[in-house]
């Protein structure tokens, strides 16, 4: 019998990643050569986390004069950052990197190279994480990535560019303290703003749970050439669940907001899938 998974809620204003953000584990990312090899050998990265109810207000949402949504968010450093919707067209196979700044009891800040520029792997491999932690007043800094968007267009809430080790990144999320690992394939619901488009005629990668709910891959750490056969590599897929690749007959558009739960799961390769509305 398949265990009944309890849904958790994670307050995140951005993606990848976590993104959708992805997946953050506190362990260094595998180097680029490892990414090109058997994807099952990748180093697990930062896990998505449960957000405790601390009662602390870290985010305010307003509208600008032109009607665009703006979010003011307090960082782990105590700074206030303004986030606006930023659109990245032609995002499929756009490679980007995220950095997770750990502030201990003050939570975690997420910075990303998307949507500003594709990942600079030479810069990424040469990062001095201890120096970055000292510069930003964090306890530690962890790499999340590199990874690729799976959709054809993505819109995310992000700040103006911030210089991080000489490269422009955007601040996109603050995760409160107490974030703990969520088991793989356990449903959790991020609260975030994202506009996602997968276009007709393009392949999408999906997990279907034992109740028939379909989850679509948002960002992937496994190179695209390995996604078609990914189902053969799963070792921990729950009983009754399956992986499939489909080509869309029509565009799939998802506009995510914190006002509605966004059921999501993470696979054993630290990749996030979002439930497709029935």
Q: pLDDT tens across 63-122, in order?
A: 444 445 888 989 998 999 999 999 999 999 999 999 999 999 888 899 999 999 999 999
Is 1 part of any domain?
A: no
In a domain, 3, yes or no: no
With respect to residue 83, please indicate whether it lies within any of the assigned structural domains. Answer: yes
27: pLDDT strictly greater than 50: no
What is the band of 188 on the pLDDT scale with cuts at 50, 70, 90?
confident
Strands, E assignment, the chain: 8-11, 16-21, 59-63, 69-74, 80-89, 95-102, 108-112, 140-149, 153-158, 162-164, 167-175, 188-191, 194-198, 203-208, 214-220, 242-247, 252-256, 264-266, 272-275
The pTM assigned to this predicted structure is 0.76
Asked whether residue 79 is domain-assigned, the answer is: yes
pLDDT for res 87: 95
- Over the chain, what is the mean pLDDT? 80
Residues 40-64 have a mean pLDDT of: 41
3-state secondary structure (DSSP) of residue 17: strand
| 2 within some domain | no
Report how many domains make up the chain: 1
User: Which domain covers residue 26, as residue numbers?
Assistant: 8-275
Is 125 inside any structural domain? Answer: yes
**Does residue 241 register a pLDDT over 90?**
yes
């Amino acid at each position: 019998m398949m265990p009944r998974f309890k849904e958790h809620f994670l307050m995140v204003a951005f993606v990848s990643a976590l993104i959708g953000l992805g997946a953050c584990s506190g362990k260094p990312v595998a180097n680029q050569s490892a990414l090109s090899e058997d994807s099952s050998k990748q180093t697990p990265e930062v896990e998505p986390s449960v957000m405790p109810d601390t009662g602390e207000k870290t985010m305010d949402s307003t509208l600008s004069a032109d009607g665009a949504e703006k979010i003011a968010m307090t960082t782990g450093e105590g700074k206030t950052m303004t986030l606006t919707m930023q659109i990245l067209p032609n995002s499929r196979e756009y490679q980007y990197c995220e950095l997770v700044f750990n502030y201990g009891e003050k939570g975690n800040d997420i910075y990303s190279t998307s949507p500003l520029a594709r990942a600079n792997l030479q810069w990424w491999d040469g990062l001095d994480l201890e120096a970055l932690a000292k510069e930003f007043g964090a306890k530690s800094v962890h790499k999340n990535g590199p990874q690729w968007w799976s959709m054809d267009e993505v819109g995310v809430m992000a700040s103006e560019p911030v210089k991080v080790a000489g490269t422009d990144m955007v601040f996109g999320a603050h995760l409160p303290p107490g974030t703990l690992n969520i088991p793989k394939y356990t449903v959790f619901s991020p609260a975030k703003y994202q506009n996602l488009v997968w276009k007709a005629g393009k392949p999408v990668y999906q997990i279907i749970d034992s109740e028939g709910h379909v989850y679509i891959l948002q960002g992937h750490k496994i190179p695209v050439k390995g996604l078609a056969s990914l189902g053969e590599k799963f070792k921990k897929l729950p009983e009754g669940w399956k992986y499939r690749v489909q080509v869309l007959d029509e565009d799939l558009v998802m506009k995510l907001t914190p006002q509605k739960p966004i059921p999501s799961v993470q696979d054993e390769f630290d990749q996030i899938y979002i439930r497709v509305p029935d």
